[in-house]
């Protein structure tokens, strides 16, 4: 689960950098690895961009929007995607990119 649940909105003025927080909650009974992707790495920053959560554990991440000139840049397609998957049994609590590159199930949520 995420809080907010469906989207985040960066409001004007756009000549200041804005930062919002997203809470990621592992509502499952298994340890998960999670990673954040954005469609615009120049404008949207995420910290931390990945991690591991035990069952029922939550983490807070900061999403920042850098300054830009409203009307001169197309922001309609800017998206943040949360991807997560179950970690392999016995895996250490350290994020591994290869969890997302195999044939296992990777879930996605667009914000």
What CATH number does the domain containing 20 carry? Answer: 2.60.40.10
pLDDT band of residue 95 (cuts 50, 70, 90) is: very high
Segment among 28-32, 47-51, 68-72, 102-106 with least mean pLDDT: 68-72
What pLDDT was estimated at residue 10?
67
Q: Are 36 and 81 in contact (CB under 8 A)?
A: yes
- Please give the residue range of the domain that contains residue 47: 1-108
What pLDDT was estimated at residue 8?
67
Q: In the chain, how many domains are there?
A: 1
pLDDT single digits (tens) 45-76 = 999 999 999 999 999 999 988 887 777 777 77
């Amino acid at each position: 689960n995420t809080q907010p649940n469906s989207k985040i909105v960066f409001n004007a003025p756009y000549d200041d950098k804005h930062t919002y927080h997203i809470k990621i909650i592992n509502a499952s009974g298994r340890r998960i690895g999670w990673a954040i992707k954005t469609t615009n790495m120049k404008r949207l920053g995420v910290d931390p961009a990945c991690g591991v959560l035990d069952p029922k554990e939550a983490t807070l991440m900061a999403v920042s929007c850098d300054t830009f000139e409203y009307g001169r840049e197309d922001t309609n397609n800017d998206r943040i995607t949360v991807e997560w998957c179950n970690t392999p049994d016995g895996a250490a609590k350290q994020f591994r990119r290869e969890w997302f590159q195999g044939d296992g199930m990777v879930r996605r949520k667009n914000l």
